[in-house]
Amino acid sequence: MSLLFSCQSISKAFSTRPLFEDLSLSIFAGDKIGLIGLNGCGKSTLLKILAGLEKPDSGTLSPKRDLSIGYVPQMCEFADLNPKQILVDAVKGDLPHYEKERLADIWLSKLGFTGEEPSAALLSGGWKKRLGFAVELISSPDLLLLDEPTNHLDLEGILWLEKFLEKESPTYLLVSHDRYFLQHVTSRIIEIDKTYPKGLFAIDEPYAEFLSKKEQFLQGQLAQERRIATKARRETEWLRAGVKARTTKSQSRIDEAKEILEDYADIQARNRQKKAKIDFSSTERETRKLIVAKNLSKAIGGKTLFSHLDFTLSPGTRIGLMGPNGSGKTTLLRMLADEVTPDLGTIKKAEGLQVVYFDQHRAQLPLNISLKDALSPKGDFVSFRGQPIHINGWCKRFLFSPDILEIPIGKLSGGERARIAIAHLMLQPADILLLDEPTNDLDIPTLETLEESLLEFPGAVVLITHDRCMLDRICNSVLALGNPEKTELFSDYMQWEKAQKTAPVPKEKKADAPPPEKKSQKLSYQEKKEFDAIERKIEKLEGEVRAFNQLLLEKEIAEDPARLFEICKAISLVETQIEQLYLRWQELDHKNS
């Protein structure tokens, strides 16, 4: 296993705000690394440093010679060009244009594009993310860096990405807060946190095993603090006795005492683990039926989203809304918030019902306002559960230091801004919480705290999230949208997931009227011409594969890693072409029969 990249004692700060200090790590060929840590600890910045987009304030970067790196940021934006042209322009190396176009077609196919998309600039966030993967992978980088790759992907997209990474990218380092995703796609976890002596903790095992080893380490560190505490008390008493450093022995004892006290202060600071204190305010009403929905139906632009939908929200009900993008999840949430009216059906609400709606898009605040104004827009105090809390105490609750209250929130990480949005949510007493993607950008400790708060919330919760771990832990029922004819209610996420794996392929509904006269399926002139040429093309490409395989047997090529890599890459591309030709041949042959 060869070393690709080594970082030694690197540090980075923004203004007076340190992100990480004296950080060292190594990346080897074949590594599948998950990078985690609190919001604002510098994960995204570290990726940019590795990608060469930023420089560390100090320390040494040692990449392997001629190392090629691909970097996909959290947000992928593209020019007003079609995706194929974007990929053609991204191909590195002096290749003829037809070869670049062939590579672009292959990667468009792998990523699920039809090839008919008019403009990359008009793609949804999820499809821009897919195109971002293709832009980097088309040149076969040695190391792929991914910053929050599941952002903007729906659940179907996340499951696709898990399989895609396993097949297409042998070495990568990714930042993610999706715990199930980390478990499925990583074999090594690195956490950046000042809790650890070297500023990070790394385990060469998947996420679940990492959690176990982390707990063992932290328990050991607490035991170490208790052992040092006894020594520190003894040395403090000795120093207070006023022993003068008249002899070398006394001076040595003083120096040793100071070292013990410094070690004790250091381990005490590391053992003070902080978590955001999230606690939603409830009206604590005793009404059993908060909302009763009957026969709800909604169509948008002629497309039916759902129909004949019935459910009841009671205290303690926690429903997760499932379904692909465009299935009506957000529309249903807005309907419960009285922002959208149903086409059919009724929604009956308890008298005086208080509903709090968290919209991931509307929760955005102007980036030029200060953290203080964002957390407490009405002055130095906020009112939480009827009690005034000073801004200094309120900001600490969400892991912000009072020292940075004047900093513009535009300089904070996405996760830190997400904590601000949740702080606003906590100030509103509620019977029902409607949450549309509340987990975006939150770090894992904050996600866990949010989950605990939702479990303790006595009212009802309706939740949209692609975080499978949260769905599994929080929701006591799952409403599956996506099939307008049949909206199903499951007892939990695991039951829903099992149903997806065993669901039969839906059959086309038979028409009541007699079927129209069947048109001839014979091949057109152009299709027949294409059909006749496919066999010759396949034979030619198979000949190329045989020739490449013969080259692999030559000693000088076997001893040249770069040449060997190029030939293997060429074989893979030709075999992909052959596979596509066979599929097209089968399609035309079936039509001709």
pTM: 0.69
Report residue 363 as tokens.
Answer: 């929760």
Q: What is the pLDDT of residue 361?
A: 63
Report residue 469 as tokens.
Answer: 């771990």
**Contacts of 360 by beta carbon, 8 Å cutoff, 6+ apart:** 436, 437, 438, 440
The SS3 assignment for 573 reads: helix
Looking at the chain, how many residues does it have? 593
List the alpha helices (DSSP H) in 241-298: 248-271
Identify any residues that bridge with 348 across adjacent strands, giving them in sequence order. 292
Q: What is the pLDDT of residue 502?
A: 61
CA distance between the termini of the chain: 52
From first to last of its 593 residues, the chain has per-residue pLDDT tens of: 689 999 999 999 887 778 898 999 999 999 999 999 988 888 999 999 999 999 999 999 999 999 999 999 988 899 999 999 999 999 988 888 888 888 888 888 888 887 778 888 888 778 888 899 999 998 889 999 999 998 878 788 888 889 888 887 789 999 999 999 999 999 999 999 888 888 889 999 989 999 989 888 888 888 888 877 777 777 777 767 765 544 555 767 677 777 777 777 777 777 777 777 777 777 777 678 999 999 999 988 778 889 889 999 999 999 999 887 778 888 999 999 999 899 999 999 998 899 989 876 655 678 888 999 989 888 899 888 778 899 998 888 888 888 889 989 888 887 888 888 888 888 888 899 999 888 877 888 888 888 888 898 889 999 998 888 998 899 999 888 888 777 777 776 777 777 766 655 444 343 333 444 444 456 777 777 777 788 788 778 877 877 876 776 666 765 565 676 567 667 656 766 776 676 677 667 766 65
Report residue 163 as tokens.
Answer: 């399989």
Distance CA 404, CA 466 (A): 32
**Contacts of 462 by beta carbon, 8 Å cutoff, 6+ apart:** 313, 319, 321, 333, 336, 432, 433, 434, 435
Per DSSP, 430 falls in state B
The SS3 assignment for 143 reads: strand
Name residue 384's amino acid.
F
**Nearest-CA neighbor of 276 among 416, 116, 162, 122?**
416
The SS3 assignment for 425 reads: helix
Q: Determine which helix (DSSP H) or strand (DSSP E) holds 524, and give its type and residue range.
A: none
Angle between helix 125-137 and 155-168 (nearest 10):
10
Check: CB of residue 333 under 8 Å from CB of residue 321: yes
Q: What is the pLDDT of residue 562?
A: 61
Distance CA 427, CA 416 (A): 18
Torsion over CA: 372, 375, 376, 380 (sign): negative
Q: How many CB atoms lie within 10 A of CB 40?
A: 21
The SS3 assignment for 368 reads: coil
Check: CB of residue 169 under 8 Å from CB of residue 200: no
Check: CB of residue 463 under 8 Å from CB of residue 474: yes
